[in-house]
Amino acid sequence: MKLEKKLFGSEGDEMNGQKGDGRIETIIGKGTNIEGTVNIEGSTRIDGNITGKVISNDVITVGSTGVVKAEIRAKAIVVGGKVEGNLIASEKVELQAKSELVGDITSKSLLVEHGAIFHGSSKMKDAGVPTSTPAGGSSSGAPRPEPPRPATAR
């Protein structure tokens, strides 16, 4: 199955919700309800309902009929439906025009189309940067600047 709309990158790019050969490897169809932790290998399209946690090593696409109440962790995440939960992507997150997200985003890249609804916060992270703040450091991982010192009389 070929996706009509190019989501990311160039033709044949694996970041567009499908593998380079044009296949979505897993489809969770409309009318399907899943509860719990879902671990998925390969690109996946969610048109049904998931409650719990979704983990993938590839692209997760939540279709326009998809409703996800879960944390999603993946290489890239494309939201066209409704998601209530945090999104953590090692590469990209895309919120399409008719999508709705209630949750926080952690990603290297974020695209929010006009019309998307987003209630939450976003953190831009480089790959390999820990998501927690190191003791004494800032959220970017850089050391905090020294506070200004009072002037001394000479």
CA distance 92 to 146: 34
CA atoms of 76 and 107, how far apart (whole Å):
9
pTM across the whole model? 0.70
Asked, for residue 82, whether it belongs to a domain, the answer is yes
The residue-averaged pLDDT of 145-152 equals 58
Instruction: Give the Cα separation of 11 and 113 in Å (integer).
Output: 20
For the stretch 48-81, pLDDT in tens is: 999 999 999 999 999 999 999 999 999 999 999 9
Q: Is residue 126 part of a domain?
A: no
Residue 151 within a domain = no
Please state the rounded mean pLDDT for residues 40-44.
Answer: 94
| Closest-CA residue to 8 (of 67, 68, 57, 59) | 59
Do residues 99 and 80 make contact, with C-beta atoms less than 8 angstroms apart?
Answer: yes
56 assigned to some structural domain: yes
Per the structure, how many domains does the chain have?
1
Residue 79 lies in a domain: yes
Q: What is the mean pLDDT of residues 118-135?
A: 66
**Residue 57 resides in a domain:** yes
By the 8 A CB rule, do 99 and 116 touch?
Answer: yes
| Cα 11 to Cα 48: distance, rounded to the nearest angstrom | 27
Kindly state whether residue 70 falls inside one of the protein's structural domains: yes
Name the more confident of 108 and 147.
108
The pLDDT of residue 125: 85
Cβ burial 108-133 (10 Å sphere, 16+ → b, else e): eebebeeebebeeeeeebeeeeeeee
CA distance 101 to 90: 18
Domain of residue 50 covers 26-118
pLDDT computed for residue 17 by the predictor: 42
